[in-house]
Structure 1
Amino acid sequence: MAKTIRDESTASAYWAAVNTFCALQDVHVIADAPVGCYNLAGVAVMDYTDALPYLENLTPTSLTELEIASSGSSEIVQETIEKLKETGKQLILISSAESEMIGSDHQNMLAMKYPSVRFFPSNSLGENEWRGRERALAWLFDQFDDGQPAEVEPGAVSIIGPTYGCFNSPSDLAEVKRLVTGAGGRVAHVYPFESKAADIAKLKNSAAIVVMYREFGAALAEKLGRPVLYAPFGIDETDRFIEEIGRLAGTPEEAAQFIAEEKRTTLRPLWDLWRGPQSEWFPTIRFGVVASKSYADGIKRVLADELGMQCLFSHDSATADNSAVREQIKATQPQFLYGRMPDKIYLAEADAKSRFIPAGFPGPIVRRALGTPFMGHSGVVWMVQEIVNALYDMLFNFLPITRRQPDSAAPAQPLKWTPEANAILEEIVKKAPFISQISFGRELKRKAENLAASRGADTVTPDILKQLA
């Protein structure tokens, strides 16, 4: 029986190839695809974001019904190559779901007529974007490696992984670069974000490789044969990352000094927040995460394992059952939810009072400024800062503000409450943020008694609470 998938979380391997190859400055991508496939991100939920900018180095063959139904796409591919072969850029032809459905395979044609043009079968119909990126990065190295043995450059560190369509990559990449240089390393390459195809063979000369994401990049790192580190989340993991970069770059003393300086500078706001009165709220905070694996695991590690907050759930969005996620959000209603646009929709469906914080795609979110990292020491400070600000916002909502229209007068006589009504009141109040439960409970009790009095009743019963809830 076919399985219905709710709110698909990832794009296809076709877009993985586009987002990977188009990031290279000396590459032009030809997509064996219908018109429109060069500017419309193919995901099931809207993904309007400048993480996927207008791609000037992507040209579709503009398949029509003629090619798809009868003639095949070989001729139109050759016409497109002829138009682009004088650009001076390396041409890469990729398949799309449409060309794969009609069995287009241009490997032999290219070998005979255009040997400098490479063909990448994206497997759009069989893989999601993470598997697609993994394969695309490794394929590029196979295609462009010069076959020479590595000549390790002392202190050189290459970062692999940042491609178009990755959530929050400018900020997190800036933080990883800052940590590498602070530890005494030299950022030699950021691949493919700040690289060319001509740079790919040089990756193996790095003293160390940093893989930005747990979702993809490991296959290429293994091919390079260099020591591998992953971009860190949290205080302890970041400290270990700095120490290891220092060891591999031959600058252990500089790394140790940098960690000490981080505690006096970057991490100082965290210490100040921890010593302030708001630190008493931290153990009461209940949060959930639905994001790609790097962020799902990383946010949980920072907020729960290091800061002692309560993690209700943490899901890898690529493998999560969104129907189950929807029900879990409805049942738990976390105080903070780090997630995607589908999760924000689920909150709205449940009328939950959770504070939503974007932590993944799909979703209409712009994150090009460098001040919103999740990774590294700066990421810890930013996450805690956002939580504390949100807590103060919640308190503001319960201030006794004088309004233009006075609320309805309180009942003349105190009303009685049935035990069942009191139990329902307690259950409703438990779902409110801890710091506002007293104010929230008092306000809900007042509304219930006013509603009961307006009906001429002298007792608050469960039906009154259920109506208000």
Structure 2
Amino acid sequence: MAGKEEWDNVCTQVNTCALTGAAAFFAGIPDAGIVANGPLWCYFYARRYLEKSCPSIGQRFWGTQPDNNAVIYGTEECLLELLQSVRESYNPSVLFIENSCAVSLIGDDIVGIATQANMPCPVICIDSGGLIGGFWEGYRAAAKAYFEAMPLQPRRMVKPRTINLLGCTIGYYNSRNDLQELKRMLTLAGYQVLAMPGAGSTTSEIATMAQAELNLIVHEELGKDLAQQLQKQYGIPYLSLLPPYGMEGSLHWLKTLGQTMWMDEQSLEIIKREANCLVKELRSNIRDAERLWGELQFERAVVAAPSSIALGIARALNLEWADTGPLIAILHDGMPSSVVPDSMDIINGQNNSIEIERRLAELSSGLLLGSSREKAILQQKGVANVICQHIALPVHDEVILTDRPFMGLRGSCHMIEGLWNKYIHLCQQQR
């Protein structure tokens, strides 16, 4: 179970079950099929979560829906029936079968059942119910199982200036737009992205990963274990950096990557020119806004999201985007393994709900960058004059239909635009 929370609370908070996290990894492989061996509720919960960023997932994600007898005596019959249907109507490159909590307790040998089905593709089976953790534990378990079952091509020839992006997922808010921006910047800087396992790469693209010079971890809470696994198994070195938020943050991210891969400063010239043009445009617009509304500043700020996102955005907020008083980061996945700046107050979002509510209750005239969960607490406690901007799931009162990212150069413009527009709106209300 995620943290020490009850299951009926987890579904309304920022964490989901491990079944959803494991399904998210395979949902990010377009030619993979997914089977949730468990109750219909578990299947539809995971599917609904993933449909927001992968609308066609229902075409390759199925649930067995075992009846009461199956939950007691075993799910072999209903699982074999579903696998027969999959074999006849779909041709995945790899099939992932995951047991829900209830089915995990039965102890069914799903590997043996899958062998009976004689599927024409590799089949990967794990127990991934909520009893073993939440979204992050499920994602990591699925990624580990995939690379244990699906060997990469030998690391005989390394392609220069090639990287893989690890720890990416369609299960994060606005992730598709963020990944497009990362790939765009990397391409302009002279790199080639070979694969992003769990975030859009096919099985054939993933198979070439050992040819890359470097594995670059985007979200450490998802990708660090996998990076270590691939380094041990294939000798691929890895680099872990906070995601690139803000103009300076994005340039620093690319510069650090370049130093690791022996790239000269010239590789950043195109990116620097773009950044300089955007900064001039921003300064011109912000200067006019400041004359009318004053500087963008907040008495205090809270950033709540998975740890890599929360820490990366908090750094950009503090160094580039606005003036703030005390800055608090609520980490949805718990405490990070990376170093945290001394100037930042960190709260474990997994098991510190009382402290989180207390800090949010003190946020009047402040800034919240988080999810609808934190926003709901503000509303319940009647905290006024808080500017809220979504950066993490769950999100119940916003729809993104454009390609505007949060990360990178374009993402920095988007974030500053959102903060200023909401700040101006608040100033108008208070007059």
Shorter-chain TM-score range: 0.7 to 0.9
Tell me by how many angstroms 1:367 deviates: 3.0
Given residue 315 of structure 2, which amino acid in structure 1 is its aligned partner? R
Deviates more, 1:101-110 or 1:337-346: 101-110
- Aligned match of 1:345 in 376, 382, 386? 376
Do structure 1's residue 309 and structure 2's residue 329 form an aligned pair? no
Q: Counterpart of 1:27?
A: 32
Tell me by how many angstroms 1:66 deviates: 1.0
Structure 1 CA distance, aligned partners of 2:163 and 2:124? 28
Q: Counterpart of 1:375?
A: 407
Q: Counterpart of 2:345?
A: none
Q: Counterpart of 1:213?
A: 219
Structure 2 vs 1, CA of residues 40 and 284 (structure 1 numbering), >3 Å: closer, same or farther?
closer
SS of match in other structure, 1:158: strand
Given residue 314 of structure 1, which amino acid in structure 2 is its aligned partner? A
Q: Counterpart of 1:464?
A: none
Q: Counterpart of 1:51?
A: 53
What are the equivalent positions in structure 2 for 1:85-96 lying under 5 Å apart? 85-86=87-88, 87-89=90-92, 90-96=94-100
Structure 2 vs 1, CA of residues 165 and 187 (structure 1 numbering), >3 Å: closer, same or farther?
same
Normalising by structure 1, what TM-score? Answer: 0.76
What are the equivalent positions in structure 2 for 1:52-451 lying under 5 Å apart? 53=55, 54-69=57-72, 71-86=73-88, 87-89=90-92, 90-111=94-115, 114=118, 116-146=122-152, 148-224=154-230, 225-230=236-241, 231-247=243-259, 251-272=263-284, 275-276=287-288, 278=290, 281-306=295-320, 307-319=322-334, 320=349, 321-351=352-382, 352-364=384-396, 365-371=398-404, 373-399=405-431
Tell me by how many angstroms 1:323 deviates: 2.9
SS of match in other structure, 1:55: helix
Percent sequence identity is 22
SS of match in other structure, 1:37: helix
Tell me by how many angstroms 1:95 deviates: 1.0
Q: Counterpart of 1:461?
A: none
Tell me by how many angstroms 1:216 deviates: 0.5
Q: Deviations over 1:329-354 (max 9, x none)?
A: 11232422112112111111222221
Contact 2:84 2:117 in 1 (8 A): no
Contact 1:16 1:133 in 2 (8 A): yes
Structure 2, unmatched stretches of 5+, are 231-235, 335-348
Deviates more, 1:331-340 or 1:46-55: 46-55
Q: Counterpart of 1:410?
A: none
Normalising by structure 2, what TM-score? Answer: 0.82
Structure 2 CA distance, aligned partners of 1:261 and 1:92? 45
Structure 2 CA distance, aligned partners of 1:107 and 1:378? 46
Deviates more, 1:345-354 or 1:274-283: 274-283
Structure 2 CA distance, aligned partners of 1:322 and 1:47? 23
Structure 1, unmatched stretches of 5+, are 400-469
Contact 1:94 1:121 in 2 (8 A): yes
Structure 1 CA distance, aligned partners of 2:249 and 2:52? 30
SS of match in other structure, 1:315: strand
Tell me by how many angstroms 1:128 deviates: 0.8
Given residue 145 of structure 1, which amino acid in structure 2 is its aligned partner? P
Tell me by how many angstroms 1:299 deviates: 1.9
Contact 1:304 1:310 in 2 (8 A): no
Structure 2 vs 1, CA of residues 146 and 169 (structure 1 numbering), >3 Å: closer, same or farther?
closer
Tell me by how many angstroms 1:126 deviates: 1.4
Given residue 38 of structure 2, which amino acid in structure 1 is its aligned partner? A
**RMSD between aligned residues:** 2.8
SS of match in other structure, 1:157: strand
Q: Deviations over 1:71-101 (max 9, x none)?
A: 2112222222222224321222111112112
Structure 2 vs 1, CA of residues 114 and 207 (structure 1 numbering), >3 Å: closer, same or farther?
same
Q: Deviations over 1:361-397 (max 9, x none)?
A: 12224335221x2222333322222222222212322
Structure 2 vs 1, CA of residues 52 and 362 (structure 1 numbering), >3 Å: closer, same or farther?
farther
Contact 1:207 1:248 in 2 (8 A): no
SS of match in other structure, 2:161: strand
Tell me by how many angstroms 1:226 deviates: 2.7
Structure 2 CA distance, aligned partners of 1:202 and 1:96? 32
